[in-house]
Structure 1
Amino acid sequence: MATARRYPIGIQTFETVRKENYVYIDKTGLIYQLTHQDGKFYFLSRPRRFGKSLLVSTLHSYFAGRKDLFKNLAIANLEKEWNEYPVLHFDLSGAKHMGKDRLLRHLDFLLSAQEEDFGVVDHPEDVSDRMSNLIEKVYKKTGQQVVVLIDEYDAPLLDVVHEEENLNDLRQVMRDFYSPLKKSEPMLRFVFLTGITKFSQLSIFSEFNNIKNISMDEKYAALCGITKEELLTKMSPDIDSLAVRMKKSHQEVLDALAYNYDGYHFTWPSPDIFNPYSLLNCFSDGKITDYWFSSGTPTYLINMMRKFNVLPTALGPMDAQSQDFDAPTERMTSLTPLLYQSGYITIKGYDEMFDSYKLDIPNHEVELGLMRSLIPYYITPDTLTTNNTIVNMGRALYNNDIDGMMGLLKKFLLTIPYTDNTNYEGHYQQVLYIIFTLMGAWADVEVHTAKGRIDVAMIFHRHLYIFELKLDSTAEAAMRQINLKDYPSRFSLSGYPVTKVAVNFDSSTHTVKDWIVK
């Protein structure tokens, strides 16, 4: 009987992965290529839980000369010298949700650990001078250029990106921490930073004229994450095991994995890239479910959505040039850069003639997670009631009981506490969009036709539903509009049966007043 494969769930240390025989997708050929380029300073942006920390740990082991850990990996046939360099490794993922004073204490803790490792006893108090001193002392003590690895460099700033005052204070602290790297260049062999987004007003980007951002470099598109080719070759046994547990065929499981976890592209052209966190958890648990969002709520994203007044229906297909979505955080004029850099939208195509990228939500897992995270802000904090209602509405619709579904919606909206900015038709349009998406339906709003725009179009189990919404009017008026403007003709070639649903909402009760189904 074959030994069960071990998956590195939550394990981000390369030495542990290798010594304890966890599954490792070999990225060391790319690492060798990266570390033998011209230049010293590199930055990689990838979404959270995408393997950045394991990559940094792998770089640490490589530069520390740990040849024993790389046996049978691609780099073993490429590297001939295995020089040992002193490595300063800073993990800033623990510096979240901190004020200025606490952040300074945390940096003191990180610097103290490095000073102790290299026997640096005396040091200045100022964080900038202290970093300079550490690099210089380690360089002189070892006689070797120093490697500096900084994981999640932007972690102290992300959660306050919507708060200008706190952001400025913390940004100044981190600017002081990073600024010595430039003047220490002669003593440095390699500097590598990872993060989610770019803060241009940190010294790392505003002062370094030689830092190379490889986030959209085609050569390194697969440096983090698991490509479809890697899945099919290195993880084919895992697909087979999952197929047995799920009682499905190999191809059915592969299709389900792609639908839920694939679809990321960080440049174009790019291989299809799967979310590694979700994929490994899926193989470990033997089931396909939502893992990425359950591992943490993107509060900074929700706060920025509110700041930029982004509606849920706007989180979908869009066209943009690279400077529009790979822009520094401080210069954002829309939420697109943060959505892209955080992994909530990704590249889906490229128009070379106009240098324009097509962006969209990567996959089903991200779409569902986004909608669920928006429930407390657009519908109600009572997510349990919301989820139960959505399930029951889905059951009713599956059984072709439209009246039953609308009755559930009416009852549900009556339970929602009244909030401001709900007395307009568009609010109910957004609510329906979230609910239908969470039901697993395809939904779109403001769908253009030859004679007007459909409020909500929805496809569920190969059946098309056209919704016309009114506020403080009548369902009869809504149905007359559907018929007058012949909305169903927009989908005449789809082959789907069509149901017209006219809905009238009441601003005094904040729920459905009446509806007609035809």
Structure 2
Amino acid sequence: MEDLQRLYPIGIQTFSNIREGNYLYIDKTEYVYRMTHSSAKYMFLSRPRRFGKSLLTSTLHSYFSGRKELFRGLAIEKLEKEWVEYPILHFDMSTAKHADKEQLLQELNLKLSSYELVYGKAEEEVNPNQRLMGLIKRAYEQTGKKVVVLIDEYDAPLLDVMHERENLGVLRNIMRNFYSPLKACDPYLRYVFLTGITKFSQLSIFSELNNIENISMDEPYAALCGISEEEIRSQMKEDVDGLTKKLEITPEEVLLKLKENYDGYHFTYPSPDMYNPFSLLTAMEKGKIGSYWFGSGTPTYLIKMLDKFNVEPSEIGCKQAKVSAFDAPTETMTTITPLLYQSGYITIKDYDKELDIYTLDIPNKEVRLGLMESLLPHYVANNAEEANTMVAYLSRDIRNGDMDAAMRRLQAFLSTIPQCDNTKYEGHYQQMFYIIFSLLNFYVDVEVRTPRGRVDMVLRTKTTLYVMELKLDKTANEAMEQIDLKNYPERFALCGLPIVKVAVNFDSERCTIGEWRIEKE
């Protein structure tokens, strides 16, 4: 790699700034040409946050502005011959987050006013929909060209109030009113593009706008946002080489680490493996593998919704569902699955064509560890910082094969956690163990079926498989007797690893592990 430091567009979502500033740009312009020359004039794309939706919208803005010079050397340069400049109305709704009714109306007023300075305003236009309709018509009349409407993060004003029924209804009506002219203005429009996190296909906010093509799960656009492995190998070879030097490992080892941490997203099936672009580019810039996506935003609303739907941490991944169950509006959802999928916490992993059923799971290590770190404070009261330190030492104990030391460490740590209502339930401790062991980056599962019952927990390291039975206010001997009586280890005899039985009893009065027994099979 050259001595000149590569510039990465971390947090830069404006296409012209990236091109003029000589930042790394992964060429998606062939998709832009395909989108704008298809039979569909109205398009919607859903992707999780930090996945490049705003950059894509900005790229469309530059394209419809006729700025040919920005696309020099990119795929679209050979495809586009005309480079026409169209009037563009570009609305970024992310500025309307955390808004109440008055604040949302003020935001819409500001956005409309800036374009009314250019195209004018009629006195009788008062409401947002009237003003938007007037703008579209005047822009068409004054330029002689049809209008392009770009709406980025259309659902941003609604996401934070998704669990507040009354507030959601008020804000949804305002946004429905604002978007309503798009269908009536069809004769004046060249192209309409909307992005968001939540799906809109049955969403009441677009009840009148039934002519939008939802390309979110269309195979031709599977790699539209995010970065594919092929793009890493072809357009980021220098970057991989640079990271190789910083980490002092081979290029193939770097690719494996990047894949483990940031890959694994699929928004249809079949689809290339897609990497989270924010995390991938941040890792390149900082020269180390880290958890960057979660650091850019705490999923507080997710935690609220997990509580609302009584979803345990161990239930987040590995789901099977019809597309209608996860490609559904979050405001009417009856399970947590649509929110998990649309927010990027789970993604498509497989598809059974015969049954028309998708398998959904957590995409990668970064998301799994980030989720568990976010959920940990709910199980360890205010001891999250101490818990993370404890987990680091616990990891060493278990890597060394010393489960007895791990149990002593867990016992000491749990005894510092204040008593709460949940400490009277065995399931509380099971989920807490699940989170802690997940943070060790080992395979862990709960309620694993065997021919004679269910194992409370299975933990698999590189060298050992642990079969664990958990009891509350009983004895470790009783837990071990259940393991032996139901012969749980038999289910894992072909795993190729030594099997260790771990029997644990929790003491609800002391809110920690009372006693344990460990035996090799």
TM-score using structure 1 length:
0.97
Corresponding position of 1:285: 286
Q: Secondary structure at the match of 1:422?
A: helix
Q: 1:119 to 1:66 in 2, by over 3 A?
A: farther
Corresponding position of 1:32: 33
Does residue 155 (structure 1) correspond to residue 184 (structure 2)? The answer is no
Per-residue CA distance 1:211-237 (angstroms, 9 max, x = gap): 110000001011101011111111111
Q: 1:189 to 1:22 in 2, by over 3 A?
A: same
Q: Secondary structure at the match of 1:515?
A: strand
Report deviation, 1:45: 0.1
Does residue 510 (structure 1) correspond to residue 516 (structure 2)? The answer is no
Corresponding position of 1:416: 417
Mapped to 1, the partners of 2:122 and 2:91 lie a distance apart of: 19
Corresponding position of 2:277: 276
Does residue 310 (structure 1) correspond to residue 311 (structure 2)? The answer is yes
Corresponding position of 1:188: 189
**Contact preservation (8 Å) 1:174, 1:202:** no
Corresponding position of 1:458: 459
What amino acid is the match of 1:197?
Answer: T
**Contact preservation (8 Å) 1:205, 1:211:** no
Mapped to 2, the partners of 1:138 and 1:94 lie a distance apart of: 24
**Contact preservation (8 Å) 1:199, 1:329:** no
What amino acid is the match of 1:196?
Answer: I
Q: Secondary structure at the match of 2:109?
A: helix
Q: 1:155 to 1:502 in 2, by over 3 A?
A: same
Corresponding position of 1:501: 502
Q: 1:27 to 1:517 in 2, by over 3 A?
A: same
Query: Once structures 1 and 2 are overlaid, which stretch shifts more, 98-107 or 51-60?
Result: 98-107
**Contact preservation (8 Å) 1:464, 1:498:** yes
Corresponding position of 1:134: 135
5+ residue gaps, structure 2: none
Report deviation, 1:199: 4.7
Query: Once structures 1 and 2 are overlaid, which stretch shifts more, 364-373 or 128-137?
Result: 128-137
Mapped to 2, the partners of 1:201 and 1:33 lie a distance apart of: 26
**Contact preservation (8 Å) 1:123, 1:133:** no
What amino acid is the match of 2:321?
Answer: A
Mapped to 2, the partners of 1:122 and 1:223 lie a distance apart of: 42
Q: Secondary structure at the match of 1:513?
A: strand
**Contact preservation (8 Å) 1:380, 1:386:** no
Report deviation, 1:416: 1.8
Corresponding position of 2:107: 106
Q: Secondary structure at the match of 1:446?
A: strand
Per-residue CA distance 1:124-163 (angstroms, 9 max, x = gap): 3312212112212222221211100000111111111111
Per-residue CA distance 1:424-458 (angstroms, 9 max, x = gap): 11111100000000011110000111111110100
- Once the two structures are superposed, the pairs formed by residues 160-309 of structure 1 within 5 Å of their partners are 160-199=161-200, 205-309=206-310
Q: What is the percentage of aligned positions where both structures have the same residue? A: 58
Q: 1:202 to 1:140 in 2, by over 3 A?
A: farther
What amino acid is the match of 1:33?
Answer: R
Does residue 143 (structure 1) correspond to residue 137 (structure 2)? The answer is no
Number of matched residues?
Answer: 518
Corresponding position of 2:355: 354
- Once the two structures are superposed, the pairs formed by residues 395-410 of structure 1 within 5 Å of their partners are 395-410=396-411
Corresponding position of 1:336: 337
Report deviation, 1:123: 6.7
Corresponding position of 2:63: 62
Mapped to 1, the partners of 2:234 and 2:160 lie a distance apart of: 39
**Contact preservation (8 Å) 2:202, 2:328:** no
Q: 1:290 to 1:117 in 2, by over 3 A?
A: farther
Q: Secondary structure at the match of 1:354?
A: coil
What amino acid is the match of 1:67?
Answer: K
What amino acid is the match of 1:390?
Answer: V
Mapped to 2, the partners of 1:325 and 1:442 lie a distance apart of: 25
**Contact preservation (8 Å) 2:176, 2:206:** no
**Contact preservation (8 Å) 1:179, 1:203:** no
Report deviation, 1:376: 2.2
**Contact preservation (8 Å) 1:115, 1:121:** no
Runs of 4+ in 1 over 4 A off after TM superposition: 119-123, 199-204
Q: Secondary structure at the match of 1:88?
A: strand
Corresponding position of 1:435: 436
Per-residue CA distance 1:473-509 (angstroms, 9 max, x = gap): 1010001111111111111111111221111112222
Corresponding position of 2:325: 324
What amino acid is the match of 2:164?
Answer: E
Q: Secondary structure at the match of 1:153?
A: coil
Mapped to 2, the partners of 1:106 and 1:375 lie a distance apart of: 37
Alignment RMSD: 1.4
Per-residue CA distance 1:6-46 (angstroms, 9 max, x = gap): 11111100001111111111111111011011121110000
What amino acid is the match of 1:309?
Answer: N
Per-residue CA distance 1:90-138 (angstroms, 9 max, x = gap): 0111211111111111111111222224454757331221211221222
Q: Secondary structure at the match of 1:103?
A: helix
What amino acid is the match of 1:488?
Answer: P
Mapped to 2, the partners of 1:422 and 1:308 lie a distance apart of: 20
What amino acid is the match of 1:91?
Answer: D
Query: Once structures 1 and 2 are overlaid, which stretch shifts more, 347-356 or 194-203?
Result: 194-203
Q: Secondary structure at the match of 1:494?
A: coil
Q: Secondary structure at the match of 1:50?
A: coil
Query: Once structures 1 and 2 are overlaid, which stretch shifts more, 129-138 or 202-211?
Result: 202-211
**Contact preservation (8 Å) 2:98, 2:160:** yes
Q: Secondary structure at the match of 1:508?
A: coil
- Once the two structures are superposed, the pairs formed by residues 32-51 of structure 1 within 5 Å of their partners are 32-51=33-52
Mapped to 2, the partners of 1:502 and 1:177 lie a distance apart of: 60
**Contact preservation (8 Å) 1:145, 1:188:** yes
Mapped to 2, the partners of 1:235 and 1:122 lie a distance apart of: 53
What amino acid is the match of 1:353?
Answer: E
What amino acid is the match of 2:304?
Answer: N
Q: Secondary structure at the match of 2:422?
A: coil
Q: Secondary structure at the match of 1:415?
A: coil
Q: Secondary structure at the match of 2:375?
A: helix
5+ residue gaps, structure 1: none
TM-score using structure 2 length:
0.97
